[in-house]
Structures are given as C-alpha cells and as structure tokens.
Chains A and B, each alone.
Chain A
Amino acid sequence: TQLLEQSPQFLSIQEGENLTVYCNSSSVFSSLQWYRQEPGEGPVLLVTVVTGGEVKKLKRLTFQFGDARKDSSLHITAAQPGDTGLYLCAGAAFGAGSYQLTFGKGTKLSVIP
C-alpha cells in the first residue's frame, strides 16, 4: 500500500501571505492530483500532474511534481479567504488489479481576513 504524507496538517495564515503544502511518499506514482474540499461537500479536482518535474499554475496556485514522481507541492501566493478549505493530494498507482488513487490525510488551511 502506497502512503502519502501531507504536511502541515493544519495551517492558519493571514490574508496576503504565501504558503506551501507538501505531499511526500517513498513510492512512485504515475500521476498526482490535488483536490480542494469545502465543509459538507465532496473534493473537487484542482490539477493533475503526470511528468516528473512538471509545474502547473492555476491563477495564484502553483503545483509541482517531483523529478522522481514521489512527491509534490502546492504553493499559494497571496492567500485569500476564499482559499480556505481542506487540500488533499492523491497519487495514482497500479494495485489490486487496477489503477487506484491513494489520498493523503489532507492539509486544513484557514486564511484569516
């Protein structure tokens, strides 16, 4: 079973600050996804990274996949209260007969106005 370690588990910052969330594993993944989940709702996909070293930007969010495809980071520039939520990383790997997603435990972000 592949494990994904997310850090930090909780993060509380002021509006306008920058932050980085990390997702690490000893296993190699074919791709890695980042989701955001708001209270009472299901996760929503933000991005998928597939190639080692790949960097993708989504407005103020920058996602990077490690060269060895074992880790990823999410960087938010000038955080806003609307960024508040639970951020989950998920790695795709083949196991038990099919490709499956393994989720990290999440980073709960609070952006204070």
Chain B
Amino acid sequence: NAGVTQTPKFRVLKTGQSMTLLCAQDMNHEYMYWYRQDPGMGLRLIHYSVGEGTTAKGEVPDGYNVSRLKKQNFLLGLESAAPSQTSVYFCASSYSIPGRATDTQYFGPGTRLTVL
C-alpha cells in the first residue's frame, strides 16, 4: 500500500517547455487534488477532481491543465512553463469531501519544479 505517489520528484524546465506531473493513489479514493506550495504562501489549490472523468478549477488554475482518465491517476500538465510556475507541487487524495469529520486528505511527497 504505497498511498499517494508522485513522479518525478524533481524537474528543471526552460521557459516555454511543457511537462506532465503524474499522481497515483492506491486507496480507491474518489477525490484528488493538485496544490502548489510557495514560500510564505501556504498551499493553494490548482485543480481538483471529484471522480474519474471529472475535473474542476481551484484557486490558481491558470497555466495548468489536468486529466483524470483513470480513478487512481491524476495528471497535471504545464503547456508552456513560466518562471512563475517554479514551486513545489503536491497531489492529494481523499475518500470524502472536505468538511466531513471523517475526511482526511493524504498527500504525496511533492515534486519540486524549477522553471528557468
């Protein structure tokens, strides 16, 4: 039982390049999330998914796209990377919606992305 895994762990891009971050969970969770964490800014929600085939925008979605073709996977894409997208990206998954007393979001170890 690996929980939430993210690949890659580190990546350096040049401005304008594209890449995809992969998140996988083996807990059969319906809900999955992508956050970015910047110094002094806390965690901010980029996109989320409430089930296979569905995605929705979070607080800071511009410049990112996502897909949830399989229940266990949630992909985050950067079509044309910009230096402002330098950040640590975290994926999370949960069984129920935020706000429920039983809700727990399980986080992956993060991907550290640098855009030059």
Interface residues of A (CB under 8 A from B): 1, 9, 29-31, 40-45, 48, 50, 88, 90, 92-94, 96-101, 103-106
- In the complex, are the beta carbons of B99 and A1 less than 8 A apart? no
- Given A98-B48, A100-B45, do A93 and B99 touch, yes or no (CB 8 Å)? yes
**Set A30, A92, A98, A103: member contacting B42, Cβ < 8 A:** A103
Given contacts A42-B4, A106-B42, 17 further A-B pairs with CB under 8 A are A29-B99, A40-B109, A40-B110, A41-B109, A42-B92, A42-B108, A42-B110, A43-B43, A88-B43, A92-B98, A94-B99, A100-B45, A100-B59, A101-B45, A103-B42, A103-B44, A105-B42
Instruction: Establish whether residues A99 and B109, one from each chain, have CB atoms under 8 Å apart when the complex forms.
Output: no
Interface residues of B in 64-116 (CB under 8 A from A): 90, 92, 97-101, 103-110
How far apart are the CA atoms of A40 and B107 in the complex, in Å? 12
Of the A-B pairs whose beta carbons lie under 8 Å apart in the complex, a sample of 24, sorted by A's number, is A30-B99, A31-B99, A31-B103, A41-B109, A43-B43, A43-B107, A44-B107, A48-B101, A48-B103, A50-B101, A90-B43, A92-B103, A93-B99, A96-B58, A97-B56, A98-B97, A99-B97, A100-B58, A101-B98, A101-B105, A103-B42, A103-B43, A103-B44, A105-B40
Instruction: Write out the residue numbers on chain B whose beta carbons fall within 8 Å of the beta carbon of A50.
Output: 101
- With contacts A92-B103, A98-B56 taken as known, whether A41 is within 8 angstroms of B48 at the C-beta atoms is no
| A42, A43, A94 interface centre (most CB from chain B within 10 Å) | A42
Task: State the 9 A-B residue pairs at the shortest beta-carbon distance, nearest first.
Answer: A42-B107, A92-B99, A92-B98, A30-B99, A105-B42, A103-B43, A103-B42, A99-B99, A99-B98
Bound-complex Cα distance A30 to B99 (A): 6
Interfacial chain A residues near B4, Cβ < 8 Å: 42
